[in-house]
Amino acid sequence: MQEFSYKQRSDRIVKLAKEANVDGVIFQRLSFCDCHGVECQMNGDDLKDAGIPYLILEKVYMPTDEGRLKTRVQAFLEKIGK
């Protein structure tokens, strides 16, 4: 049976977020990355349980779509009161 290693990664993210006393977490994920796409959702659930707001920001490699990204980050900052 293999080690269920997601938990260690997620615990570390939550621990780092708490230690740094962050107001929110942004997961920047690449479009069409299967593994990271699902893991972001899992990480988000764990942060939600820990009471930490998060944003999953899907983007591509190239520096395009700047306006959409800005809008999403602005909306997230407004949501967490920053």
Write out the E strands in 14-79. 25-30, 54-59
Does 42 interact with other proteins (rule: CB under 8 A)? yes
CA–CA separation, 65 vs 45, rounded Å?
Answer: 27
Residue 41 CB, shortest distance to other proteins, in Å, is: 4
Q: Which of 40, 47, 52, 55 binds other proteins (CB under 8 A)?
A: 40
Stretch of 1-9, 13-21, 60-68, 70-78 contacting other proteins, by CB under 8 A = 1-9
Does 37 interact with other proteins (rule: CB under 8 A)? yes
SS3 23: coil
Which sign, positive or negative, has the C-alpha torsion 9, 29, 41, 71?
positive
Stretch of 17-25, 38-46, 64-72, 73-81 contacting other proteins, by CB under 8 A = 38-46
